[in-house]
Amino acid sequence: MLPVLAFDIETVPDTLALRRLHALPDSVADAEVADMAFQRRRQAIGHDFLPLHQHRVVTIACALREREGFRIWSLGDADEGEGGLIQRFFDGIEKFTPQLVSWNGGGFDLPVLHYRAMLHGVRAKRYWELGDEDREFRYNNYISRYHTRHIDLMDLLGLYQSRIPLDEFAQMLGLPGKVGMHGSQVWDAFRAGRVDAIRSYCEADVANTYLVYLRFEYMRGVLSAQAYANECRLARETIARLPGAHWKTFLDGWNDG
């Protein structure tokens, strides 16, 4: 069985970088630095979503299906540094060479991880393989938008021209969608020291992503009806054993319908 790794990240403004870019003194509080960056962004393009290189990764959630079974978790500890989290992610790719699965991972998660990995000196040799050492990667690698070693479900399902929220599509499929918060609330939660809540929110998002992927695999004939039901049952049973109130909320909102 080819390992499948669904992933999701949550980010906050990189206030250290913003200070450098705008020559702001350390005396300016992080909240003020971020607010200034948001205001500049709104004035420039009409919304306050910062450019990808100005995001700092605070959590990475993974859902891994392999021969040993299925598990969902957040990488590292809540207080682990950004570089360590990102190195763990790419170490997993080095170990498993998995099928990567995301929702908008090609448009957001992976580019952010690229910038931040370079910033922290992270090594990611297998991920960046393009066929020089492994010829199979020449025709199917993690980098090409149109290769399938990384499946960005949002990008592929919309034929590279439609952007829809995971929350809405997951709910349409009978899945719970967002649990605990929305992406726009992550910065406030981070400032309040609620990193564990952000990790829980990210884990629920990656569970949604993995379950959408299972439906995709059924649609394209990779999974039979029985295999699809078995995989969903394994995911449900695994989630039911996980600690945390967010998982009870997730299961309560999951309608197999």
Q: What is the pLDDT of residues 56-67, one digit of tens each?
A: 999 999 999 999
* Contact (CB, 8 A) for 225 and 218: yes
pLDDT for 170-228, tens place per residue?
Answer: 999 999 999 988 888 999 999 999 999 999 999 999 999 999 999 999 999 999 999 99
Taking the model in full, what pTM does it have? 0.96
Contact yes or no for 100/91 (Cβ under 8 A): no
Band of pLDDT at residue 256, cut at 50, 70 and 90: confident
Residue 184 corresponds to which amino acid? S
How far apart are the two ends of the chain, measured CA to CA in Å?
28
Does residue 257 lie in a domain region?
no
Domain-embedded: residue 215: yes
Per-residue pLDDT at 10 exceeds 70:
yes
The whole domain housing 191 covers: 4-252
Residue 43 lies in a domain: yes
Residue 151 lies in a domain: yes
Residue 154 lies in a domain: yes
Q: What are phi and psi of 75, to 5 degrees?
A: -70, 140
- Going from the C-alpha of 113 to that of each of 45, 60, 127, the distances in angstroms are 24, 10, 12
Confidence band, pLDDT 50/70/90 cuts, at residue 257:
low
Residue 73 tokens read as 């978790």
The answer to whether 86 and 113 have CB atoms below 8 angstroms apart is: yes
CB 59, CB 200: distance < 8 Å: no
Cα radius of gyration rounded to whole Å, the chain: 19
Residue 102 located in a structural domain:
yes
Give tens-digit pLDDT for 120-148: 999 999 999 999 999 999 999 999 999 99
pLDDT at 182: 87
CATH label of the domain that carries residue 206: 3.30.420.10
For the chain, the domain total comes to 1
The residue-averaged pLDDT of 81-109 equals 98
